[in-house]
Every structure is written in structure tokens, then in C-alpha cells.
Amino acid sequence: MKRLHGFVQHINQKRLKLQGKPFFEALRFLVIYLVIGIVWIVWSDQWLAAIVEDYDAFIQMQTFKGWFYVITSGFLFFVILQSRLTLLKELSDKLIHQATFDDLTQLPNKNKLTLMIDNIIDQCEPNDQYALICMDFDDFSNVNELLGYHIGDQLIASITTRVRPLINEDDIIGRDSDGFVFFVDLKNYPNDQLIDFLEEIKRSVNQSWNIENQILFVTCTMGVSRYPQDGDKFTELYKAANAAIHQLKEKGKNDYHFFAQEYHLERIERVTMMNEMRKSIDQHDLTLAFQPIYQMVDNRIVGFESLIRWHSETFGQVSPAIFIEYSEDTGLIHLIDEFVFESIIRLRKEWCYDEFKDIMISLNLSAKGLANAHLMAKVEAWVKQYEIDTSQIQVEITETALIANFDIAIDHLHFLKNLGFSIALDDFGSGYSSLTYLQTLPIDTLKIDRTFTMNIGMDVKQDIILETIINLADELDLKLVIEGIENVQQRDFLLEHQCLFGQGYFFGYPMELRNVYDLVKKDFQEANSKKEVDMI
């Protein structure tokens, strides 16, 4: 008996756990109902017997009492059930709304858009055409991070009120992460009217916004995909439109771009290229070329810049300008930076002959490399291991590398400087070019980008800027190397303006290591024989 009781209890507890609070609530109603019922039956019969003496009347009253109880309790039961079900319905409606609409703007979110747009596509006639436009605010995370999410939210809400009226009644506007999604019937936008529509959206977003007395400037980038050619489901069109945004953002922002299949192929090519690159790194297939740097007054070699070279089986010779950028995106750049740094340190050790004593070797360090603490530790270890004179190695970094991770970059620059390396700021004049760095950073050399050299003698204003930079470098005691010298006129202009060092096809192309030895020996011998002649 005890065991049976225990079993029943166990079952009950399980049931309670399963049913949770609704069970208790239902039980509460049941108990109330039963108590009232029992009280009603017992007391009402006693009262009735006391009041009604006639037996037939008593029976009649009892039947009436039974009906009264059933109707009243039925009515109460109906009211309670109805109020509970209404509450449940309201709650589930709210949940469905929350799951399918954006809280801030009350626009359909991506889940709802998927349902709505797939539904429209399912009912399409053969000649129907639609465009899906994904719009992203440029650098919107800056607004949220710098000014706070409440400002970001208000900004989105204000933009929504301005953008919403731009669409036709039967078109769709929805909300997605950092922007909006539009799905428009191209019947409503014949000829170039879709372009007009995109321009209109751009204009209405690219304005100044006053949010809590902060004036904000917003720009947006839009990617457009089209049904049926770019996909026949929302997910496909969405992917294509976002791919178009991605492509545009690589070139610039604040514009719109239509999805192009070729671009997709380009991305696939990138993946293939990076897979091959990984293999080449593992198989030690990367090489370095060396381009001479000359002291222009006496035409003597003062150094070489090492430039990475890669021959891919599929793509042939690939420019470092391309694969370095891709490698930065995929993280492979760390392996490349390690390869370059260690190769140059080892080479410096080998260049112990007299001819090479005063020759500087430059290496290019990527933005990610400059921010990489592991690489810095490795460099320190290699310097100790190979026991080299680091002052004859120059590390070239770009302004972009500095800006990307400013604080870490500065720390690591000092670290390299303390290890004895010479530091050069590469491609000066091609990017943000802030003169303030020049004073504060531990830089020894300024390398002027070849875009300046290209225009020497052709653009008076630019010549003046170049002269100013030359004077400034002189005042700040920076060594100046002009890149990309291709002809004698450019060389002569620079000599006239007291530029000491130059690099470019005019002096020599990047070459293989074995040619470097011959060239340096020849240069050394020529200089020595000139010295002897001078002495005579």
C-alpha cells in the first residue's frame, strides 16, 4: 500500500512538473468549483426543505435549482475560458509580431521579408521582374560605438520616416541589421527609373541629421539584385545584393551597385588563389626580388628593397599588390611577414663581405604584421640567433598600417627601433599623408610614392608640394628616397632639388638575388677604381 502510494505520488509530481503553473491554476478553479458545488448541494437542499414543505413543490424547486447551477456555472466557465484564451491569443500575436517585425521601426524583419517575398515570387507570372535592394549605412557602427546606441536608434527611426514614403504602395520595405531592404516591382520603374529611385534614396539619406543636438552625416551603400536573373528565392537575391554591396565597398562607399555574376567568379578565384598561396607558403615557393636604391649624385648603390614574388600554377605571376591584400583578408599575411622577415635577417648575416657592409636591405611589413606581437617576439629571437647588425635592415611600413592599429603600431615601431632596425615610411603621399607623424614617430626614412614622381614637370602645383616635402624632410633630418624614377628628366629634377636617394626602373628593375651579388661587386669595384683615380 505504501509502495502504491509512493508510486502515485511520484506520478503526480511528474505531472505537476510537466504541467507547471497552468495545472495549479486549473486545479484552483476545479477546487473552487467543487467546494461551491458541494456547499450549494448541501446547504441549498437544507434551506429548501426548511422553506418548502410540499413534496412536489420541493422536487420542482430542486430541478429548478439544478438548472440554475448548471447555467450559472456554465456562464462563469465561458467567461473565464474566453478571457484566458483572449490573453493567450494576444500574447502569441505579440510574440509573432516580435519575431517578424523590427521593434524600432515596425518594419518587417528578415524572417518576415523571406515569407513575403517568397510568397510574391511563387505567384509570379512568366514576365514579372523584381529588384531587391539591400541598403547599408556606411560605418554605422561608429555612430553606435562613439555616440551610443540610443543615438543610433533615433537616427534609424528618423531615416525610416524619410525613406518609407519613397516606395510605391505595393512595394516592400523591410529592415535588416544596419539598413533597409526594398523589394520593388520593376513594372513600376520602367527604363531608368530604378536608377532615379536609388538616387532618391541616396539623397534622402545623405543629409545632415540632428539627433539630440548632435549633427550627424550619414551615407549609404546599396546593392541591387534582380529576379529572375540573379535568383528565384529571397535568400538567393539577398545574397547577390549583399555581394554587390561588398564589391562596391572595396572600391568606395556611398553609391549603388548592381550584382554582376563576374564578381561572383572573382570571389571564387580569390578563394582558389588563397588556397594555392597556402600551399606555396608550405612548400617554400615564395621568393624575394631585390630592387636597387641609388645615391643619385654619384650613382652608387646604397641599398636594396626586397619585394616578394609568387608564381602561381593557376594564375601565373601574381602582383604582390593583389595577393598581399587578399592575404591580409585571410590571415595568411602572418606567414608571409614571417617568411620575409626571417629571410632578410638570414640574408643580412650572409652579406658579411666588404662589398655589402654599407648596403641597407629594406623589407616591407604589412599592417597586420606591424600589429602582430608574436611576430615581434620572433624577430627579437631571430636577431639574437643570427647575431646580425640590425642597423643595416630597414623596415618599410605604410601610413595605412599606422592608422589601422595606431597604439599597437606605435609601440611596435619603438620596439623595432630599440632592436636597432631602421624605419621607413613607405608610399608617402599616396594615402592619408599626415605630416604630424613625421615629427612624433621614430622614422629614419621617408619614401615618396611614385605617383609624385610620375607627374614631375607636368603639374606645377604638385612640383611645389614635392619641393616642400623635400625641404621638410631635410629640416626634420629624415632620409628621403624617391620611388618610381623612370627617366632622366625625373632624376635630374630631383638632383636639382637636392634629393639624395632614388629608386626606380631608371636605375634598375627588381632582380633575383644572384644578380644582386654581381651588381654590388661591379658597383664596389667601380667606386674603388674611381677612388684610386681621384687619389692619383
Q: Which stretch binds ligand C2E (CB under 6 A): 3-11, 469-477, 500-508, 514-522?
A: 500-508
Query: Taking CB under 6 A as the rule, which mask of x and - marks residues 269-298 in contact with ligand C2E?
Result: ----------------------x-------
Q: Which stretch binds ligand C2E (CB under 6 A): 105-113, 204-212, 484-492, 527-535?
A: 484-492
In this chain, which of 102, 276, 338, 426 binds Mg ion, going by CB under 5 A?
A: 426
Q: Which stretch binds ligand C2E (CB under 6 A): 134-142, 310-318, 438-446, 499-507?
A: 499-507
Count of residues touching Mg ion (by CB under 5 A): 5
Q: Report the nearest approach of Mg ion to the CB of residue 483 (Å).
A: 5
Asked if 364 is part of the footprint of Mg ion (rule: CB under 5 A), the reply reads: yes
CA distance 4 to 7: 5
In this chain, which of 343, 366, 422, 445 binds ligand C2E, going by CB under 6 A?
A: 366
Interaction partner, residue 486 (ligand C2E, Mg ion, none; CB < 5-8 Å by kind): ligand C2E
In this chain, which of 226, 450, 479, 491 binds ligand C2E, going by CB under 6 A?
A: 450
What are the backbone dihedrals phi and psi of residue 203, each rounded to the nearest 5 degrees, phi first?
-60, -40
Report the residue number, 221 or 291, with the smaller CB distance to ligand C2E. 291
In 3D space, the residue among 181, 199, 180, 179 whose CA is nearest the CA of residue 189 turns out to be: 199
> In degrees, to the nearest 5, what angle opens at C-alpha 245 toward C-alphas 241 and 251?
150
Q: Report the nearest approach of ligand C2E to the CB of residue 468 (Å).
A: 21
Which run of H or E residues covers position 427? strand 422-428
Q: Is 209 helix (H, G, I), strand (E, B) or coil?
A: strand
In this chain, which of 67, 77, 149, 505 binds ligand C2E, going by CB under 6 A?
A: 505
Q: Report the nearest approach of ligand C2E to the CB of residue 377 (Å).
A: 19
Strand partners, 307: 289
Query: Taking CB under 5 A as the rule, which mask of x and - marks residues 465-494 in contact with Mg ion?
Result: ------------------x-----------
Q: Which stretch binds ligand C2E (CB under 6 A): 205-213, 254-262, 317-325, 459-467?
A: 317-325
Backbone conformation region of residue 390, classed left if phi is above 0, alpha if psi is from -120 to 50, else beta: alpha
Q: Is 175 exposed, middle or buried (0-12, 13-18, 19+ CB in 10 A)?
A: buried
Q: Report the nearest approach of ligand C2E to the CB of residue 369 (Å).
A: 6
CA distance 66 to 72: 10
Q: Report the nearest approach of ligand C2E to the CB of residue 189 (Å).
A: 43
- In this structure, the strands spanning 479-482 and 501-503 are parallel
> In degrees, to the nearest 5, what angle opens at C-alpha 503 toward C-alphas 501 and 509?
150
CA distance 423 to 292: 18
Q: Could you tell me if 510 and 289 are in contact, meaning their C-beta atoms sit under 8 angstroms apart?
A: yes
Report the residue number, 372 or 392, with the smaller CB distance to ligand C2E. 372
Asked if 338 is part of the footprint of Mg ion (rule: CB under 5 A), the reply reads: no
Q: Is 440 exposed, middle or buried (0-12, 13-18, 19+ CB in 10 A)?
A: exposed
Q: Could you tell me if 121 and 233 are in contact, meaning their C-beta atoms sit under 8 angstroms apart?
A: yes
CA distance 140 to 149: 10
Query: Helix, strand, coil % (nearest 5) of the chain?
Result: 60, 20, 20
* Side-chain-side CA neighbours of residue 186 (13 Å): 16
Report the residue number, 321 or 458, with the smaller CB distance to ligand C2E. 321
Asked if 502 is part of the footprint of ligand C2E (rule: CB under 6 A), the reply reads: no
Residue 85: other Cβ atoms inside 10 A:
10
Report the residue number, 101 or 326, with the smaller CB distance to ligand C2E. 326
Find the binding residues for ligand C2E in span 515-534 (CB under 6 A): none
In this chain, which of 321, 460, 533, 535 binds ligand C2E, going by CB under 6 A?
A: 321
- In this structure, the strands spanning 256-258 and 220-227 are parallel
Report the residue number, 413 or 485, with the smaller CB distance to ligand C2E. 485
Q: Report the nearest approach of Mg ion to the CB of residue 364 (Å).
A: 5
Report the residue number, 76 or 274, with the smaller CB distance to ligand C2E. 274
In 3D space, the residue among 111, 223, 120 whose CA is nearest the CA of residue 174 turns out to be: 111
Q: Is 197 exposed, middle or buried (0-12, 13-18, 19+ CB in 10 A)?
A: buried
In this chain, which of 114, 166, 320, 334 binds ligand C2E, going by CB under 6 A?
A: 320
Q: Report the nearest approach of ligand C2E to the CB of residue 333 (Å).
A: 7
Asked if 136 is part of the footprint of Mg ion (rule: CB under 5 A), the reply reads: no
Counting DSSP H helices and E strands in the chain, the numbers are 19, 16
Q: Report the nearest approach of Mg ion to the CB of residue 301 (Å).
A: 17
Interaction partner, residue 276 (Mg ion, ligand C2E, none; CB < 5-8 Å by kind): none
End-to-end CA distance of the chain: 128
Interaction partner, residue 321 (Mg ion, ligand C2E, none; CB < 5-8 Å by kind): ligand C2E
Q: Report the nearest approach of Mg ion to the CB of residue 526 (Å).
A: 27
Q: Report the nearest approach of Mg ion to the CB of residue 430 (Å).
A: 8
In 3D space, the residue among 444, 443, 446, 429 whose CA is nearest the CA of residue 480 turns out to be: 446
Q: Which stretch binds ligand C2E (CB under 6 A): 110-118, 189-197, 417-425, 477-485?
A: 477-485
Q: Which residues of 280-319 are buried (b: 16+ CB within 10 A; e: fewer)?
A: bbeeeebbbbbbbbbebeeeebbbbbbbbbbebeeeeebe
Report the residue number, 173 or 336, with the smaller CB distance to Mg ion. 336
Binding site residues, ligand C2E, CB under 6 A: 291, 307-308, 319-321, 324, 340, 364-366, 396, 426-427, 450, 483-486, 503-505, 510
Binding site residues, Mg ion, CB under 5 A: 364, 396, 426-427, 483
